[in-house]
Structure 1
Amino acid sequence: MLSPPEVYPSAHQLNVIDDYHGTPVADPFRWLEDPATEASREWTQAQNQLTRSVLDQPVRSVILKRLQTLVDYERASAPVKRGNRYFFWQHHGLQNQPILYWQKRFSEEPRPLLNPNTLSKQGIVSIMNTEPSLDGKWLAYSQAQRGSDWQEIHIRNVETRQNSEEVLQHTKFAGIAWHPDHSGFYYNRYPDPGTVNEADQTYYNRVYWHSLGSDQSEDILVYERPDQKDFDFWPRISPDGAYLTLTVHLGTDRRNRFYYRPLADTDGTFVHLLDTADAHYRFLGNQGQRFYFYTDYQAPRGQVIAIDITRPEPEHWETIIPETEDKLDQVMIADHHFVCAYLHHAHHRLWIYELSGRAVQEISLPTLGTVSNLQGKMHDNELFFSFSSFLFPARVYLYAFKTRELSVLSENSPDFDPEAYTTRQVFCHSKDGTAVPMFLVYRKDLEPLQELPVMMYGYGGFRNALTPNFSATLIPWLEQGGIYCQVNTRGGSEYGTDWYRAGTLAQKQNVFDDFQAAARYLIAEGITRPDQLAIRGGSNGGLLVAACMLQAPELFGAVVCQVPVLDMLRYHRFTIGRYWASDYGNAETDPEHFAFLKAYSPLHNVKSQQVYPPVLITSADHDDRVVPAHAKKFAATVQSLSPESVTLLRVDTDAGHGAGKPLSKSLEEFADIYTFLIQALQLNWR
């Protein structure tokens, strides 16, 4: 059983008071926002030492060994075809990072092209984006260190595996669009340091042309919007090679703009085809001047439309695939067909349509699960994709358009028997009566389910739909008789734009209500008890579980709060936090936003002397997406106001928000999570 320490590491409090529209708000632990001060470093070190004293138990090594065994198997991505070459990632067992391979035929031995494991012994160098040239002879790839979102682009000769001398810097979430003649590519990046104020380093995104073999200083500026410093651009060249297109985003808001110009007209101006940001528009491809888009314009669950760029007014738009009861989640063009993955109650169905919109075939999938990594080209007759589910390790499929047959390209399984487990979907009803789906995964021999330990997971934001996916790190929990529950709260895109918007801004409380309703359902059905119910979430999901812990502490026996967003009044001031205002709002600029943000902001809703369930809060020293200040200030606040509660802070080193995290670090973290849950829920781990 977990007990709080006699004394938590000392954290001095400052007399910092902010004024929000006439309301004073204290921020006594603001000094923890600066990780470089001696006081901040010493406090963080003391927190990690406290956490290690709790988590370094004998059972941890047993858990870690089982996790290592479970992930020690081969797994591959769906291939990408460029020219006559297929490129794919292969993860070999316990390697920290996957390796990129290529081959000309699936019957031949793959050739390694890029192995990030050789770039760092600790696996802290990761590859974030790869884009082969259209002839398959060159590879441009983005490389990041220690989990940072900042990346640099390198260029490699596929045949010789030698890199060009140039390195392109100051990129983050960059698009790479190779020219059809393979002489170079378009990409987007941020200003050189020193050319703008430090506060503007992640503003003023620009599009450049880079010629292969030249220095970055010689790159040609293609497009910028100094009048709109918040705009981010994503360049792409149309499948027929006729147009350079720009998708224009404002933060994480999916409502975007779309510009284009003839590729050959290098001095031409961009046509602002869609410039009102009234909906989400994703360019799919074109046939001459007929441009195809996925959009939620007047279709919350999504549709496919065609726009004749010679008559671009909305009254001339043509609906190709109309909105259905299911959410159109993914769509792309392969072999002159639309390939559409629909979300049906949070799991995928896969359909093929002609470009006219006529339905051709539904591709039968093995179980309730997730389609990902759809790959194909307008003029290729092959479609590749991955499919997985909670108990179904990722399998790569090849669909042949000529024969309409589906075949397995690669599959591997870890050391467990999926037949011993089952998945079922149930629905609970939220506070306002909304039906909320949730998946339960457990051992078959546990039925009927009665007062068992449950780990409940949620996210609830940014249109991120939670679908059934395989993770070997979940298996130890299931093996030990635990139930995994995944809740599809509002704020995701499971049922389209309306479902998403019902979990944003002033309606964000719906997300917390949905999650708490799921907990109450599990308890009312006798599936679990509060002292056996753990909740887990990361990033925006960390906000979710922290808010629920504070609003309904009586429902939960343990909380795992990973890389969380917790200071909802100041989140926009850190790195790219401003991008999230479309989901959260901005407390500084809008009094109404301040009111609803302060009402649920975890940092500002900790009650004095209230005993909360044990919580493990995780962060990482190089997380430049959700900075560690969120986790640190929240931990200090709970420890100060509720010293009777168990509040542990784990700050990882040489790691970031999660993308590109070395496998070894991920396994260490899960070993810590399970060790924490064993003690918090008093489990008998065998």
Structure 2
Amino acid sequence: MFKRESEPQRFKSRIAELLMSGSVGTPAWRGGRHFFSRRTPEQEHAVYYAVDADGTERVLVDPMALDPTGLTTLDAVQPDKEGRLLAYQISVGGDEESVLYVIDVATGARVEGPIDRCRYSPIAWLPGGEAFYYVRRLPSTEVPENERQFHRRVYLHRVGTSTEDDVLIFGDGMKMTNYYGVSVSRDGRWLQISASEGTAPRNDLWVADLEVSTPERPELSVVQEGVDAQTGLVFGRDGRLYVHTDRDAPRARVCVTDPAEPGHDSWRDLIPQDEEAVLSDFAILDGLERPVMLVGWTRHAISEITVHDLATGERLGEVPTPGLGTIGGISERPEGGHEAWFGYTDNTNPPSIQHYDARTGETTLWAASPGAVEVPPVRTEQVVYRSKDGTDVRMLIISPVDGEGPRPTILYGYGGFGLSMTPGYSASILAWVEAGGVYAIANLRGGGEEGEDWHRAGMLANKQNVFDDFHAAAVHLVETGVTTTAQLGISGGSNGGLLVGAALTQRPELYSAVVCSAPLLDMVRYEKFGLGATWNVEYGTAEDPEQFGWLHAYSPYHQVRESVSYPATLFTVFGSDTRVHPLHAWKMCAALQHASSGDRPILLRNETEVGHGARSISRTVDLSADTLTFLAKHLGL
């Protein structure tokens, strides 16, 4: 049970206990093997395993074995199509500068690498494991110093040969901020390449038939180009091409066509757009007399899976799920079959892997997170409130099961890049609620909870909608008695750091404490640092006079005013963050310290040898404990 210890230790020890649940990842099936990740209670990082056909389990990649300091993180993995080789990518100290290696699955011997400059690179294996397509940045010697994070290209690499002999496939002469996707169909016949300008919610897409052109010189045909939509392809074992797209369908749909005619004019709806739910994923189970498609949806941020006839799209039923939570990607065997696996979590259940059998229609637990933890009882409800312009917005409120408000409350949000805030196991949230607080998560515009229209209602010229939604959430919590302004704190990181930075400058009287993590705060100059140049498709660019106006109007750094009593604020930044430079928080912290007329502290927590993303469990515990302790002190928990 929760122990009333000294303030810092009380949160630190409890968060550590709750994180002893460990974690488990969805399996990938290749040949006679399957691959998955698992973190046991005593481990700092998840370990990647292979399981042979006879059930023998072997460690393939253990970040702590590679680096006992805990500073090395496993960024990505991709087994080849036969399950004989594994490509994996690691980085050190949080810099996310992924280095690629290939190992022999049977022996663990390294057969390739290191190959550097592979940040955010997909790996697309050709059959036989002799070659793969991947994405790599140009050498730093070939580009200006301030552009070294950009200039990606798609290459073909043959295992065992020098990267100097890699064949350039795609990307020359295109925008320096482009990101590329690349994949090869299960049978090795079809190559798919996509290109997005930075994080834009649209992509160009090409395919090549490798039976009529060579892997080194694929003859690419346009699927879509210059279209304001996101589209991806799955080449079915039945010979049909399945198209997952939000073109003419902001909540997304699945279409079918002939791979030989992949263009939009030939698409036919199989799973039409739903009026409420966002279509997020699908899997094909064709090892049945009547093949089916499993379709994953999020309905107001809650996940569900439906079952459809593969030929007609007719809805046949639903996949039973453990509760009202979040479902990870649905996976099936590449060769087909009747089984599917998916991850599941909610606010009180650590990640688990569920197994669905289409023959029986039953879902059973396939693998649980390995640690046994005592999770406190909490009450979770989803409420609807009205924003400034009358838009209905949803919010998840997690609170103690006993007693009523008002209570010290943390309001969290993100509101950007089409990312959805969905239920999930969080040691920090549980520790806070167990201590008597309330935790609220707002599904703001700019996210993806209600589809692409919802995202676009909070980007570019519409960014102020996100902040208005957040202020309205705070007002709702106060007006309904959940909390008071003296007990209300806000928290956000990255784009969410921009959110709470704007909130504290626009409505300083509404919030008593702020935790602002790895934030964007100088929106006039954000493009000049880190990966900022890839985000002007989300925020706008200061190079354009009209867009400069949008940015300057809400840029938190530029909206600091003297003689204002600002909330108690803690900035947390990370020395190896190559996405969002810590300078944003450094400048903002200094500006607030200078300008604030109140006596509440403005503090900076600067952490070295970690970055924007993955980190070891012990470093996670330290950060979470410090931020909760700060909020508890200033909210009266």
**So what's the TM-score if we normalise by structure 1?**
0.88
1:79 corresponding residue in structure 2? 27
2:49 corresponding residue in structure 1? 101
CA contact 1:397–1:407 (8 Å) conserved in 2: yes
How far does residue 507 in structure 1 lie from its aligned partner after superposition? 0.9
> 1:177-224, CA deviations, whole angstroms, 9 ceiling, x for partnerless residues?
111121121101110121222233233311111111222222222223
Q: What is the letter of the counterpart of residue 471 of structure 1?
A: S
Which segment is superposed worse, 78-87 or 219-228?
A: 219-228
Which segment is superposed worse, 238-247 or 123-132?
A: 238-247
CA contact 2:285–2:294 (8 Å) conserved in 1: no
Residue 477 (1) aligns with residue 432 (2): yes
How far does residue 259 in structure 1 lie from its aligned partner after superposition? 0.8
> 1:20-49, CA deviations, whole angstroms, 9 ceiling, x for partnerless residues?
xxxxxxxxxxxxxxxxxxxxxxxxxxxxxx
2:553 corresponding residue in structure 1? 599
1:509 corresponding residue in structure 2? 464
Q: Distance in 1 between matches of 2:367 and 2:333?
A: 20
Which segment is superposed worse, 534-543 or 69-78?
A: 69-78
1:647 corresponding residue in structure 2? 602
Residue 387 (1) aligns with residue 335 (2): no
Which segment is superposed worse, 470-479 or 507-516?
A: 470-479
Q: Distance in 2 between matches of 1:125 and 1:680?
A: 35
Which segment is superposed worse, 182-191 or 361-370?
A: 361-370
How far does residue 320 in structure 1 lie from its aligned partner after superposition? 1.1
What secondary structure is seen at the aligned counterpart in 1 of 2:257?
strand
Count of residues in correspondence between the two structures: 621
Q: Distance in 1 between matches of 2:50 and 2:122?
A: 22
Matches within 5 A, 1:459-498: 459-498=414-453
Matches within 5 A, 1:5-44: none
Residue 69 (1) aligns with residue 17 (2): yes
CA contact 2:278–2:299 (8 Å) conserved in 1: no
Q: Distance in 2 between matches of 1:391 and 1:648?
A: 32
Aligned residues: CA RMSD:
1.8
Given candidates 373, 377, 391, the residue that maps to 1:415 is 373
> 1:373-397, CA deviations, whole angstroms, 9 ceiling, x for partnerless residues?
3222453322111111111222210
Given candidates 79, 91, 96, the residue that maps to 2:39 is 91
> 1:269-304, CA deviations, whole angstroms, 9 ceiling, x for partnerless residues?
311221123201022334577421111111111111
Q: In percent, how many aligned pairs have the same letter? A: 34
CA contact 2:16–2:621 (8 Å) conserved in 1: yes
What secondary structure is seen at the aligned counterpart in 2 of 1:528?
coil
1:317 corresponding residue in structure 2? 267
1:60 corresponding residue in structure 2? 8
Residue 308 (1) aligns with residue 258 (2): yes
Q: What is the letter of the counterpart of residue 316 of structure 2?
A: V
Given candidates 392, 396, 402, the residue that maps to 2:353 is 396
1:38 corresponding residue in structure 2? none
1:338 corresponding residue in structure 2? 293
2:402 corresponding residue in structure 1? 445
1:351 corresponding residue in structure 2? 306
2:233 corresponding residue in structure 1? 283
How far does residue 84 in structure 1 lie from its aligned partner after superposition? 0.8
> 1:439-471, CA deviations, whole angstroms, 9 ceiling, x for partnerless residues?
11112112xx22111111100000001011111
1:116 corresponding residue in structure 2? 63
1:527 corresponding residue in structure 2? 482
Residue 636 (1) aligns with residue 590 (2): yes
What secondary structure is seen at the aligned counterpart in 2 of 1:72?
helix
How far does residue 165 in structure 1 lie from its aligned partner after superposition? 4.5
Given candidates 168, 172, 192, the residue that maps to 2:139 is 192
Change beyond 3 A, Cα 1:177–1:311: closer
Which segment is superposed worse, 145-154 or 63-72?
A: 63-72
Q: Distance in 2 between matches of 1:256 and 1:431?
A: 33
How far does residue 333 in structure 1 lie from its aligned partner after superposition? 2.7
What secondary structure is seen at the aligned counterpart in 2 of 1:392?
coil
What secondary structure is seen at the aligned counterpart in 1 of 2:248?
coil
CA contact 2:566–2:597 (8 Å) conserved in 1: no
Q: Distance in 2 between matches of 1:277 and 1:338?
A: 27
> 1:329-355, CA deviations, whole angstroms, 9 ceiling, x for partnerless residues?
422333244322211111111112233
CA contact 2:278–2:449 (8 Å) conserved in 1: no
Q: Distance in 2 between matches of 1:165 and 1:432?
A: 56
1:656 corresponding residue in structure 2? 611
CA contact 2:130–2:159 (8 Å) conserved in 1: yes
What secondary structure is seen at the aligned counterpart in 1 of 2:203?
strand
Residue 682 (1) aligns with residue 632 (2): no
CA contact 1:71–1:414 (8 Å) conserved in 2: no
Change beyond 3 A, Cα 1:291–1:567: same
Q: Distance in 2 between matches of 1:682 and 1:528?
A: 11
Q: What is the letter of the counterpart of residue 308 of structure 1?
A: D
Q: Distance in 2 between matches of 1:62 and 1:140?
A: 41
Q: Which runs of 5+ in 2 are unaligned?
A: 287-291
> 1:395-434, CA deviations, whole angstroms, 9 ceiling, x for partnerless residues?
210112333321101124653245x322111111000111
Given candidates 139, 150, 159, the residue that maps to 1:203 is 150
**So what's the TM-score if we normalise by structure 2?**
0.94
CA contact 1:421–1:443 (8 Å) conserved in 2: yes
Q: Distance in 2 between matches of 1:272 and 1:556?
A: 51
Residue 613 (1) aligns with residue 553 (2): no
What secondary structure is seen at the aligned counterpart in 2 of 1:445?
coil
Q: Distance in 2 between matches of 1:469 and 1:600?
A: 31
Q: What is the letter of the counterpart of residue 88 of structure 2?
A: Y
Q: What is the letter of the counterpart of residue 7 of structure 2?
A: V
Residue 564 (1) aligns with residue 522 (2): no
How far does residue 473 in structure 1 lie from its aligned partner after superposition? 2.5
What secondary structure is seen at the aligned counterpart in 2 of 1:172?
coil
2:289 corresponding residue in structure 1? none
CA contact 1:561–1:615 (8 Å) conserved in 2: yes
Which segment is superposed worse, 409-418 or 115-124?
A: 409-418
CA contact 1:423–1:440 (8 Å) conserved in 2: yes
What secondary structure is seen at the aligned counterpart in 2 of 1:253?
coil
Q: Choose between structure 1 and 2 for higher RCO, CA contacts under 8 A separated by at least 6 residues.
A: 1
